[in-house]
């Protein structure tokens, strides 16, 4: 999941959280989870170790289901965005 999360939200060295604009298509609870996931990385480092998941489970005990939903949504969003880009007229 690491790559997908980093694409959707990333934390810079000076702790600015950047959220990919595509996440606007996601349900609120999934966006919340992405943000919480990234903040947990900021606190515990880049690895998905036991401490990291314990932190995640405190707020999102159902994180497995959320990640499954996230993958499904992400797949749909990317498909939709690609279709939209094809429909745009050429500006050259």
Binding residues vs Zn ion (CB under 5 A): 2, 5
Query: Could you tell me if 7 and 20 are in contact, meaning their C-beta atoms sit under 8 angstroms apart?
Result: yes
- Residue closer to Zn ion by CB (options 45, 80) is 45
- Residue closer to Zn ion by CB (options 5, 73) is 5
| C-alpha closest to that of 17 among 6, 3, 2, 1 | 6
- Residue closer to Zn ion by CB (options 47, 79) is 47
Query: Could you tell me if 36 and 59 are in contact, meaning their C-beta atoms sit under 8 angstroms apart?
Result: yes
Smallest gap from Cβ 48 to Zn ion, in A, equals 6
């Amino acid at each position: 999941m690491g790559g997908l999360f980093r694409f959707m939200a990333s934390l810079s060295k000076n702790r600015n959280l950047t959220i990919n604009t595509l996440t606007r298509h996601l349900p609120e609870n999934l966006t919340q989870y992405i943000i919480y996931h990234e903040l947990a990385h900021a606190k515990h480092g880049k690895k998905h170790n036991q401490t990291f998941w314990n932190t995640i489970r405190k707020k999102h005990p159902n994180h497995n289901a959320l990640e499954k939903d996230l993958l499904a949504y992400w797949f749909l969003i990317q498909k939709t965005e690609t279709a939209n880009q094809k429909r745009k007229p050429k500006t050259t």
